[in-house]
Chains A and B, each alone.
Chain A
């Protein structure tokens, strides 16, 4: 055997073992997460009905400012604000931040709610673009509209944090719908551990296919669109497995920008949301971890599955691809910015478990999988690949993916049961099988695009078209 052939075989073996090693590591992460998520769901506090929650917490629930950044949301803004104003919570204010929309978002708010320009003394601790005006009306004392120069989502949230006066703020997307008692459920950890609780995240679910009336999800149903169905399975895995498990391990690294409750004072201490990143939600959580660990203060960042926020998932390949590339870029930007925390004993489980999860699942996972897809035909062509082993490994990869999705459905079915029909479970299982053939590869391609954008230091969010929720 000539020298280069020996070298090629050794190189191929090394690559193969890296691929297998990363896969095994990822698999172990998922299995551990499943166990932790199961334990967490079975031991979580009782899910009380709204009346009992009110009776128990109303007298002691701290005020909350709901921050809803809005950019070109004129189609959905009135319904969204109405839904926020109708939430069941003793003391809250809704702060809608019009982030320099180019459409009629501000005009719709002024016209529909009758808000007028007012003066209000507000904080300027964190940076943001200039506020052009504040709008309110005595008729709706809970509503405040902030009109500012466009600066992006994190900039709008910073403006909202400065204007807010409550000890807690809740960041939400203006196009999302909160369940009426979501705040009462989400505030529980802040009441039970007032000195330690820094932030709480809640479950985001997809409203595609469900019927909406009066800003509320009236009937949960599955969508017909395949892309939306796959995303439902993905969201279940992300929220009911990954975040719940990481929360249990106290290693949660992300609270979704669509619904998160934060202690305002601590967010100000870390400088608010960072500019120049599309992963501002993940970055804020990492900054909070870093801050609390640097100060050696006891703290908790929790995820609880009950407070549900409904949002609209893209049903179009182009928009979904853009969103996934952006998420990937956000994770990479955060990892790069806080790389000194990775495997740093000073940051304990965040450095090892939290950052380890980002590294293996978000950074190496898609990269290795795509390298695998590229190398397979090459290695096969030069006769270095055993087709029998290839199929065996592919089968394991796919069946494990299906197993994880189905196991997540157990958690959903046993503990939450939001899908009304048994048929829905069959559909979701079929989707968990089908996603392995085409969607999974496409998703990795999008994530690689995010990698590329990150390497080119591309900025900006791209366009996200809002069509409004489906009516009942």
Chain B
């Protein structure tokens, strides 16, 4: 490398750094001025949007192609509730806000498309519904899920089975928001989500999410299906604890066979979930197994077993006191501290 080329590289690097700096500062001044203009427009538009101003007045007040009307409308729609919200949505739709967001959903950057899909949940017109349906086939996972959530939150989602296929739920898409999606759908169509549980080809993660989504519904007819799934589940998998926790959430004694079976699972996370569910349901027949679990090598299992015994009532609490006095060091410590922590006088 010649001396001249070394200096040339230094000069180029310095020049580029200087240009970047000048660019950043100029960019800052331009964006600051733009920000000031937008703030001014916000101040003008805010009372108009909240008051009774006509569409033309609002339209004239917002500079052409300015995103301020869109952003301010979205902000206000998310802030208010009830009739006022509906009025704001209607006004924004008439003024082309929904149309502008739909354009972003179709042609924006990935980040912009995700935000657009989330925002369109508030606009129930048919064009928006079509745009969101198209977004279910977007190339980006995040956009697809956002569109599905937006459609589901306004009862416009396609059948759950279709969503599972389009979004590859439970396989490629594993977000915990799948439960939120199913909960939204279950508000209006619980049978669709129920069918996912019974469907042989649904991925285990979809079944687990469907069960969690329905576990707050109080539909006890689901319990036998969950028990069957739990009895056949892989004790080393991540789904079984979710099934057991859902059985605990139903608090129905019909969940007993699965819970009793998995209290002696080879994996600690399954034993933990089973112990917790036993306590929640109040399965008295699990008392002696729970007492044994107070000496489990894993702390979480001992903790949940102690907690469950407290939940099972006076008789189980007496057992806890007995273990505290006469059990092995590990079991005794678990029992004594559980009683102390739960302030139980056994």
CB distance from A463 to the nearest CB of B (A): 36
Q: Chain A residues near B29: list those with CB within 8 A.
A: 422
Contact A194 B174 (CB under 8 A): yes
Residue of A191, A392, A406 touching B177 (CB-CB under 8 A): A191
Q: Which of the segments A222-230, A353-361, A397-405 contacts the partner chain? A: A397-405
Q: Are B28 and A192 interface neighbours, CB within 8 A?
A: no
How big is chain A's contact interface, by range?
35 or more
Task: Tell me if A395 is interfacial: C-beta within 8 Å of chain B.
Answer: yes
Q: Distance in Å from the Cβ of A419 to the closest Cβ of chain B?
A: 9
- Residue from A52, A59, A400, A425 within 8 A of B78 (CB atoms): A52
Within 8 A of B (CB), among A91-132: 118-125
Q: Are B24 and A425 in contact (CB under 8 A)?
A: yes
B3 touches A (CB below 8 Å): yes
Complex-state Cα separation, A66 to B21, whole angstroms = 39
0/1 interface trace, chain B 177-203, chain A, CB 8 Å (1 if under) = 101100100000000000000000000
Given known pairs A388-B3, A399-B17, the reply for A60 and B177 (CB within 8 Å) is: yes
Once the chains are docked, how many angstroms separate the CA of A396 from the CA of B10?
5
- Within the complex, which residue of A52, A413, A422, A425 is in contact with B32, where a contact is CB–CB below 8 Å? A422
Interface residues of A in 432-450 (CB under 8 A from B): none
Contact, CB under 8 Å: A121 / B341? yes
Can you name the residue of chain A whose Cβ is closest to the Cβ of B7? Answer: A392
Question: Closest CB-CB distance, B32 to chain A, in whole Å?
Answer: 7
Among A40-48, A203-211, A340-348, A365-373, the one that faces the other chain is: A40-48
- The interface residues of chain A lying within 8 Å CB-to-CB of B21 are 406, 409, 425-426, 429
Docked pose: A54 CA to B333 CA in angstroms: 39
In the complex with contacts A44-B111, A396-B9, A406-B20 CB distance below 8 A? yes
Chain A residues whose C-beta falls within 8 Å of the C-beta of B17 in the assembled complex = 399, 402-403, 406-407, 429
CA distance in complex: A406, B13 (Å)? 11
B16 at the interface (CB under 8 A from A): yes
Instruction: Report B294-334 CB contacts with A as 1/0, cut-off 8 Å.
Output: 00000110110010000000000000000000000000011
Docked Cα-Cα span, A459 to B326, in Å, equals: 44
* Residue A195 at the chain B interface, CB threshold 8 Å: yes
Give Cα A400 to B78, complex, Å. Answer: 47
Write out the residue numbers on chain A whose beta carbons fall within 8 Å of the beta carbon of B164.
none
Chain A residues whose CB sits within 8 angstroms of the CB of B299 once the complex forms: 122-125
Interface residue B337 (Cβ < 8 Å from any Cβ of A):
yes
Interface status of A389 (Cβ within 8 A of chain B): yes
- The distance in angstroms between the C-alpha atoms of A467 and B16, with both chains bound, is 40
Q: Across the interface, which residues of A come within 8 angstroms of B161, CB to CB?
A: none
A45 partner residues in chain B, CB cutoff 8 A: 111, 114, 142
Q: A121-B337, A425-B28 are in contact. Are A395 and B176 (CB under 8 A)?
A: no
- A-B residue pair count with CB separations less than 8 angstroms: 114
**Which residues of B sit under 8 angstroms from A193, Cβ to Cβ?**
174-175
A119, A124, A388, A413: which contacts B341 (Cβ < 8 A)?
Answer: A119
Of the candidates B10, B14, B183, the one whose C-beta lies within 8 Å of that of A392 is B10
B176–A194 CB distance below 8 A: yes
Is A452 an interface position by the 8 A CB rule?
A: no
**Given A43-B110, A52-B78, A406-B17: A59 in contact with B180 (beta carbons within 8 A):** yes
B-chain residues with CB within 8 Å of residue A125 when the two chains form the complex: 299
Question: Closest CB of chain B to A219's CB: distance in Å?
Answer: 17
Whole-angstrom distance from the CB of A56 to the nearest CB of chain B?
A: 7
- Inter-subunit contact B179/A60 (CB<8 Å): yes
Cross-chain contact B24 with A120 (CB below 8 angstroms):
no
Given A52-B78, A120-B341, the answer on whether A396 and B25 have CB atoms closer than 8 Å is no
Q: Does B115 contact A (CB under 8 A)?
A: yes
Question: Shortest distance in angstroms between A252's beta carbon and chain B's nearest beta carbon?
Answer: 21
Establish whether residues A413 and B28, one from each chain, have CB atoms under 8 Å apart when the complex forms. Answer: yes
A380 at the interface (CB under 8 A from B): no
Please state if A192 and B175 are interface contacts (CB–CB under 8 Å): yes
Interface membership of A393, Cβ < 8 A: yes
- Residues of A within 8 Å of B28, CB to CB, are 413, 422, 425
A392 CA / B179 CA spacing, docked (Å)? 61
In the complex, chain B residues whose CB is within 8 Å of the CB of A51? 78
Contacts of A52 in B (CB 8 A): 78, 118
Does A18 count as interface, using CB distance less than 8 angstroms?
no
Beta-carbon contacts under 8 Å, B21-60 to A: 21, 24-25, 27-29, 32
CA distance A395 to B10 in the complex (A): 6
B179 neighbours in A (Cβ, 8 Å): 60
Q: Given the complex, which residues of B lie within 8 Å of A407, measured CB to CB?
A: 17, 20
Q: What is the minimal beta-carbon distance from B175 to any residue of chain A, in angstroms?
A: 5
Nearest CB of A to B154, in Å: 14
Q: How far, in angstroms, from A124 to B329 measured CA to CA in the complex?
A: 13
* Docked-complex contact A396 and B13, CB < 8 angstroms: yes
Bound-state Cα–Cα, A42 to B109, Å:
9
Please report the C-alpha to C-alpha distance between residue A119 and residue B335 in the assembled complex, in whole angstroms.
12
> Does A410 sit within 8 A of B, measured CB to CB?
yes
Question: Does B130 make an interface contact (CB < 8 A)?
Answer: no
A248 to chain B: closest CB distance in Å? 15
Q: Which of A392, A398, A409 has most chain B Cβ within 10 Å?
A: A392
Q: B16 → chain A, closest Cβ, in Å?
A: 6
For the complex, what is the distance from the CA of A409 to the CA of B23, rounded to whole Å? 11
In the assembled complex, the CB of B205 is this many whole angstroms from the nearest CB of chain A, namely 8
Q: B180 — which chain A residues lie within 8 A by C-beta?
A: 59-60
Q: List, in ascending order, chain B residues with CB within 8 A of A406's CB.
A: 17, 20-21
In angstroms, how far is the closest chain B Cβ from the Cβ of A330? 30
- B273-304: contact bitstring with A at CB < 8 Å (1 yes, 0 no)? 00000000000000000000000000110110
Q: How many Å lie between the Cα of A334 and that of B63 in the bound state?
A: 58
- Given A399-B14, A429-B21, is A195 in contact with B176 using a C-beta cutoff of 8 Å? no
Query: Nearest Cβ in chain B — how far from A393, in angstroms?
Result: 7
On whether A191 and B175 interact (CB within 8 A), knowing A396-B6, A425-B25, A429-B21, the answer reads: yes
B111 and A46 form a contact (CB under 8 A): yes
In whole angstroms, what is the CA distance A402 to B114 when docked?
A: 36
Q: Is the CB of A392 within 8 A of B6?
A: yes
For residue B204, give the distance in angstroms from its CB to the closest CB of chain A.
Answer: 12
- Say whether A191 contacts B32, CB under 8 Å: no
State in angstroms the CA–CA spacing of A395 and B306 once bound together: 69
Q: Please judge, given known A-B contacts A123-B299, A125-B299, A403-B16, whether A422 and B25 are in contact too, CB under 8 Å.
A: yes
Residues on B with C-beta less than 8 A from A399 are 9-10, 13-14, 17
Residues A46 and B114 in contact, CB atoms below 8 Å apart: yes
Pairs across A and B, CB under 8 Å, 10 listed: A44-B111, A56-B118, A192-B174, A193-B175, A393-B6, A395-B7, A399-B13, A406-B20, A425-B21, A429-B21
Given contacts A192-B175, A398-B10, 17 further A-B contacts (CB under 8 A): A46-B114, A51-B78, A52-B118, A56-B118, A56-B177, A60-B179, A120-B341, A121-B302, A121-B341, A191-B177, A392-B6, A392-B7, A396-B9, A399-B17, A406-B20, A422-B29, A426-B21
By a beta-carbon cutoff of 8 Å, the part of chain A in contact with chain B is: 42-46, 48, 51-52, 56, 59-60, 118-125, 165, 191-195, 265, 388-389, 392-393, 395-396, 398-400, 402-403, 406-407, 409-410, 413, 422, 425-426, 429
Interface pairs A-B: 3 shortest CB-CB: A121-B337, A392-B6, A119-B340
